[in-house]
Every structure is written in structure tokens, then in C-alpha cells.
Structure 1
Amino acid sequence: MTFKKVMLFIHRWLGFIAGLVVVIVSITGCLFCFQDEIQDAMYSYRHVEAVHKPYLPPSTLKAEGLKGRTGATASYLYYYGKDRPAGLLVNLPKEQGMLYVYMNPYTGKVTHEENPAKNFFIIVEYIHLYLLLPPKIGSLVVGISVIIFIVLMITGIILWWPKRKTDRKRSFTIKWNGRWRRVNYDLHNVLGFYATSVAIILALTGLSMVFDVVREGIYSTANLGKAYPSEKVFPKSDSLLKTKVDSRFTIDRAFATAQTLSPQAQMFLIFDDASAAGTIGITAYAKSLRFYESDGYFFEKYTGKLLKQSPHTQKSPGMKMNDMNYDLHVGQVLGLTGKIIAFLVSLISASLPITGFIIWLGKRKKGKKVKSVVHRRVVKQRGA
């Protein structure tokens, strides 16, 4: 068996194994690319009137979001931007699930309440990440399928690559005036070639969300193997202080410090770890709804003392790459142009298993037809 036949065998059968999952993951990726823009256009609660006064402190917004919800807790609070609401993720008691509460960050007025599990784009995201299976099982199935997809991209390029220079022009273009089978063949090969480089980037950034080893691999590669041990150290609060100090408003002092240290930040995420030794973690993002270029802070949850800070400018290349991961995955690292590219590449990726299956089906039928013709000729000759 020749090398190219081996590649074809691998390409074909791996396509059968992972094709359906690739189609589902790619289509949901297309839908998710513009989820912010679509939801901004559909829902008025995603915007508030910007005013020239400070945000209400986190403790006030948290109290408003939890008002009337006995037994509910909340650890995550977003300040999305000057003209956007604050969002509190509420954990309801007795396994009732979660509730996302949107509030005006200047007045504390609740503007919208939503069960995240019923939001269309959250459902799309869950399909994209887990296929609506239990997360551990679903993420593994998706992760393995994405790895197979990368192999399919590489073997596809090997199979497609033209041997002669005279074939290159034909190989880089789609013959739209050809028969439909030829057009389908070109759609599979030519579009697959043009999409490969970006598709592999999307696949690798997706894998880093599923497998820690991929995330660590990207981190180490970007750092050229150099170690940054301080980035792996996460401080803890002194749990002995729990009963000695009044910590009700510590989160407010911590947020005020983060605002002072990152005055240009447009968005803030506050995570109040409920464990005894937990900290108050605050991430200050340079741009609203963008997750690259951020400053990280850890505060003592009982005294508000700043325990650690990680300004974007002082982060290692590996940490910056990991921070950029989501924005790369959805294309928004390049703004609207990047999102359009990610959308088109995801759409092409969804089409490849379909056009590939049509090619295989056509060859299979053609093979049966040839065998039938040969059989009739042999029978005819014997009869003569």
C-alpha cells in the first residue's frame, strides 16, 4: 500500500468516526461567533445609560441581587462597562439551579433575571462544549473529535497537494461551471485548503479549554520553556481572622483598590471565594466583553489587603497567550474582521464532512457500476 493510499485510508475512516461531531461543533461555533452582537440588538437590558458617577459597591449590588432569595448565595459579579449592566450569578438553594440577575450598576435596580440554562446562546455553547452530554463525558467526546479533525486537516493537505506545477492553478480554484460532483469535490478540497490554518488555530484554542495539557503546552511553548513559578502561586486568606474582624465591606475596599490600580479598565469580574481560606479575586479587563489584556488581583477576604497582582504588562508570553485564548477562539481578537473569519472557517469546517461523505458515496457507486459493467462483459464473453 502506497503512502498516499495510507493517508486516504486514515482520512476516510477518521472522517467517518468524527464527522458528525465536527459538523455539530462547527455549526454551533458559527452561531456563537456573533452572540454578543445579536443579543445586544435583541435585548435592551444589556445596555444602561452611562452616567458620570461611580458604580455602586459590590456589597450593595450583591445584597440587591440576593434580596428575597432565602438561602441563595453569589460568588461572581461582573461590571460589564460604563453603558452596560452589572451581572450577578446567583446560586439558588435546594438544587434549584442558577439565576443570572442584571442590575443597573449606578442605581442597583434589577433590570432582568434569567435562567442561564434557558438562554439560546448558552444552550448553543453547551452543545458546542459538551453535546448536551454530562460535561466530563461530552467534553471528552468533543475533545477527541477535535483532535481527529486536526489529523483530518493535515492528511487532507497531504492528499490535496498538487504534484505538478501545472496542476496548482486548477487545485487552488473551484470550477463552478463543472458538473455538480466536480463542484462538490472542489468545495471539499479547495475550501478545506484555505480554511486549514485558521481551523487548526480554532481547534487548538478549543482543545485548551478541554485539556489542561494543551493549555500548559501553549503556555510552555510561548515561554520557550522558561519557568515563571510566581504565576503558578495563588495566595490564601488567613482563616484565623474570620471571627476577629468585620469583613462585610472588604469586597468594596478590594474593588476600589482594583479600580485605582487599573483606571482604564472597562470591565471587572469579581470572584468572592466562599471557602475559609479563599480570597477575593478581581480581574480588570481593558475592553468590555473582551477577555484579553487583563490585570489580575488577589485580596485577603477578611482585611482587604492586596496579596498579589498580575498586571498585563508583567505577565509572561505564555500567560498572555492563555489570556488571549477565548478571543482567538471566537475571532474577536481581530475585532469584527476576526469574527467574520472565524464564522466563515467554522462554516467551511461544518461542510467538509458533508462534502467528503458525498465524494466517498460517489466513488462507491461508481465502483459498483464499474464492477457491474465488467461482470456483464465477462458473462457475455463466456456465453459467446
Structure 2
Amino acid sequence: MKAFKKITGWLHLWLGLISGIILIVVALTGALLTFEEELDPIFFKKSRVVEVSGTRLPVDSLVQIANTAFPGKKAARLIIPETADRSVTARIGARGKGLKIAYINPYTGAILYKGPYEKEFFQQVRNLHRYLLMEETGKVITGISCSICLFLVISGIIIWWPANKKAIKQRFKIKWDASGKRLTWDLHSVSGFYISLFLLLITLTGFVWSYQWAEDLIYTLADGKQTKEAKVKNLEKLKVAKPGIYQGMLDQTNQIYTYTGTVAFNLPAKPALAVTVQKELEESVNRQVDAASFDSHTGKFISKLPYAKLSNGTKIRRMILPIHTGSLLGWLTKLLYLIVCLFTASLPVTGLLIWLNRKKKSKTKSPRRRSTVAKPKLVPAK
């Protein structure tokens, strides 16, 4: 058992030193992303917050404005927030580096801001968090770091586990009046133990963005198979869309799902595909999003897909993000996750200090002293 714990401690030390900087970056950016919804309208108030004046423009007008924001590019997604004093978000063009974004005042039609989607502040933070701003190479690195973090959590508990009953009390509290070395150890081991469960949840859910097999495993375990979202086709084959159809889609969606919530229009790039309108219940713990599909040329209702009819795998997959970011129960879990992220960022620092203290101690060990007692002289016999 001692040999196993020694090997575990050695791996914990060196893997922690190797991945320390990456874990600090991921933890701090994760803390920032936890409060993205609250911080975004504060940091970028001019483009996110608007003055309420009368009623919002029809959805068709908003789509038309979005289509003129960038020449040659059409709106792909239009998000109409539940809150009256927030701007409408339009994502324009194809996914990838060419995707653009625009914020529109829903009352005046003025474009408050437009630019590349990937240059958005929180999108940059997200790219740093997931890919270290290095795209596929960064994804590989963060994926490996996520695996290392999982090992560090498990091995940390093994190292923390007290050898006997007398040591149990010492492992649950930080001795603030102890020496610097002891305090560093307590900050690392005791705080690491308390956040281990939450860090385990964050790490396991993080695998979904690092590895495709992790996402596929959710559907396989929950549904018995990998499910793909089916694309709904139009009822009629027309070349030109009828005017005023988008506002009609919104009205029909609100009749089907009567609660108040944020509405998102997914506008297809291919003319044969239908428009999908999603409505999200903001107060739901499990990210309840109900959907309805409409003919993109006539606006006729085709089908609906309420949250209750989704597969178990899809429901679980939608809960991964709020579990990972701490938004599952609102401010309570967000503040808790903030503490977890800050302590996680401190673990590589305290771990490094522990290693340096041990290294310094080993160097300062004095060699064995030679005996100073004088040896008696041997007098030869006469």
C-alpha cells in the first residue's frame, strides 16, 4: 500500500507540474464564462442594452436588416431575447471563421454593432478555455489536460486519505497559524479535497467538448444508440418566400408554447429545408427548449418538438453545459463554481511551492558529521 501511494504521489506531482499552467488558464477562463450572461451586458452595454420604446419591429424587418449587415451574407440565426431592453442578436453567414454577428435595436432597427463572431470577447475567452486559441492543436492539448485533471483529482484523494484515525481531524481543516510550509500543504490538500467532487463533475462534463466518443457515449447509454437531429424539409417547393412569414411563425410558436421565453429562429441555408423556431424557458433547471418547424417559403406549420418528446440522451446532453458551467441552479451554483475555479487555479501554485520546499530541504540536509574525539595515540611497547 505504501509503494502504491508513493507511485501515485510521484505521478500526481509530475503530471501536476506538467499541466499546471494549462489548468490555471482553463480554471480562470471557466470562472469568467460562468458569469458570461451577467457580465456581457455590463461590459458591452452600448450594443446589448436598448431603450424600450413602443413595440418591437416585426421579425421580417429584423431578418431583412440582418441580411443587409454584410454584403453577400444572409442571417443564419436570429435570437430575440425575453427581456424587453435587450438587443436582438443575428448570426450571419456560414459556421466557421466566416461567421459574422450583429446586434440590432428591435425598436429602431439600428445596427448597434457588427463584426466577426470569433472576435467577440466571450467567444475569445471560450476559445482560450477550450482550445487555447490554437484550434485543433489546442483541443488535443486541453483534452489531454482534462484527462490529467481527472487523474489528479482521484490521485489527490488517495494522497489525502489519512493513514490512521488520529490523522483524520488534521485532514479536514486548514491550520492557519501553522508554519508557511504546513499552511501551503493544507491549502493544497484540504482545499483540494473539498472541491474534488465539483472538480470531478466539471472534468467529466468537459470530456464532451474534448472527445466525440464522450458525447456519443451519452446517447448510447441513455438511448441505446447514437441519435442525430433530423432536418425538416419544406411542404412546398417554391423559389421565393412570401413576405411577412417570420412574424407569423413567431405568433404560431407563442400559441403552441404559451410561456414567456427567449426565441431563436434557425434560418436554413438550403431552400428545401424548413425554419426551426426554438423557445427556451429561462427559469428551467434542465434547459427546456421547445421547437416548432415551419415552411421557409410559406410560413405554414409543419411539426413541433416539445422538450418532453426529446430522447433521454438529448435531455442529458443539454444538461451538460449548465452542469459544467455551474448555471444549473442559478446564482447559488454559480458562486460555488466560482470558488471551485479559483481554488483549482491555486492548486498548481501551491503544488509547485510544496515541491520547491521539498527540493530545498533535500539540498540543505547536512552531511554526516565526522567524530571530533581525538583518537588515542598508540605508544609502541619498549
Shift of 1:296: 2.6
Q: Are the aligned partners of 2:285 and 2:329 in contact in 1 as well (CA < 8 Å)?
A: no
- Seen in structure 2, the aligned counterparts of structure 1 residues 106 and 195 have a Cα distance that, compared at 3 Å, is same
Map 1:1-384; keep pairs closer than 5 Å: 2-42=3-43, 43-49=45-51, 53=55, 55-67=56-68, 69-83=70-84, 84-91=86-93, 97-133=98-134, 135-221=135-221, 223=222, 226-227=223-224, 232-237=228-233, 241-243=237-239, 246=241, 250-287=245-282, 292-370=287-365, 373-374=366-367, 376-377=368-369
Distance in 2 (CA, whole Å) between partners of 1:308 and 1:11 is 53
Aligned pair count reads 371
Distance in 1 (CA, whole Å) between partners of 2:117 and 2:35 is 18
Q: Are the aligned partners of 2:280 and 2:288 in contact in 1 as well (CA < 8 Å)?
A: yes
- Seen in structure 2, the aligned counterparts of structure 1 residues 50 and 288 have a Cα distance that, compared at 3 Å, is farther
Distance in 2 (CA, whole Å) between partners of 1:118 and 1:39 is 14
User: Rg larger in 1 or in 2?
Assistant: 2
Q: Which amino acid aligns with 2:90?
A: L
Q: Which amino acid aligns with 1:102?
A: Y
- Seen in structure 2, the aligned counterparts of structure 1 residues 70 and 96 have a Cα distance that, compared at 3 Å, is farther
Q: Give 2:378's aligned residue.
A: none
**More helix per residue:** 1
Q: Are the aligned partners of 1:50 and 1:82 in contact in 2 as well (CA < 8 Å)?
A: no
TM-score, structure 2 length as denominator?
0.86
Note the alpha carbon deviations across 1:116-171, whole angstroms, 9 max, x for none.
Answer: 444433322221111111x2221221122011101100000011011222211110
- Seen in structure 2, the aligned counterparts of structure 1 residues 148 and 247 have a Cα distance that, compared at 3 Å, is farther
**Residue ranges of structure 2 left out of the alignment (5+ in a row):** 376-382
Q: Are the aligned partners of 2:234 and 2:294 in contact in 1 as well (CA < 8 Å)?
A: no
What root-mean-square deviation, in Å, do the aligned CA atoms of Structure 1 and Structure 2 show?
Answer: 3.1
Shift of 1:3: 1.0
Q: Are the aligned partners of 1:237 and 1:302 in contact in 2 as well (CA < 8 Å)?
A: no
Q: Which amino acid aligns with 2:228?
A: K
Shift of 1:80: 1.5
Q: Are the aligned partners of 1:271 and 1:280 in contact in 2 as well (CA < 8 Å)?
A: yes
Q: Which amino acid aligns with 1:87?
A: T
- Seen in structure 2, the aligned counterparts of structure 1 residues 3 and 160 have a Cα distance that, compared at 3 Å, is same
Q: Are the aligned partners of 1:76 and 1:270 in contact in 2 as well (CA < 8 Å)?
A: yes
SS at match of 2:163: coil
SS at match of 2:75: strand
**Residue ranges of structure 1 left out of the alignment (5+ in a row):** none
